[in-house]
Amino acid sequence: MKYLLDTHTALWLVNEHERLPPEIKKILIDDTHSFYISIASIWEIAIKASIGKLTEFKDGVKAFLAKIENSPIEMLPITPQHIETVEALPFLHRDPFDRLLISTALAEDLTIITIDENIQKYDVKWIWRYL
């Protein structure tokens, strides 16, 4: 399977957060899967760090990038197709980063690993606790 990590999923993964369900942890350590993070999530992390919302990363996005550098997580660029797909999405979710993640998953045929119920309203493949 090919998975796109929602921003919170990536943060919880690198911080070994207890909110990451055991079923999801099991998937995330399975090397038969492919894992991706959108550059949009990296951008979101940088913004959150700059306004003091990510205290676990004293060096902000640089610290996050260092943690995923030697991991099996591959960074995905934002493409024109992703932007075009955003434009076509129904306006069910206001967060521009999440809308871009939804469009990326649709364009790249990825399953989003997310707890975000607003993302789950879209016709996009996702998983969390209900496997």
Give the domains, in start order, of the chain with CATH numbers.
2-127 (3.40.50.1010)
Structure-model confidence comparison of residues 24 and 58, the more confident one: 24
Q: What predicted TM-score, i.e. pTM, was given to this entire model?
A: 0.93
CA 21 to chain centre: 16
pLDDT, position 129: 65
Mean pLDDT of 68-82: 95
The number of CA neighbours under 13 Å toward the Cβ of 90 is: 8
Q: How confident is the model at residue 11 (pLDDT cuts 50, 70, 90)?
A: very high
pLDDT, position 131: 44
Q: How confident is the model at residue 81 (pLDDT cuts 50, 70, 90)?
A: very high
pLDDT, position 35: 98
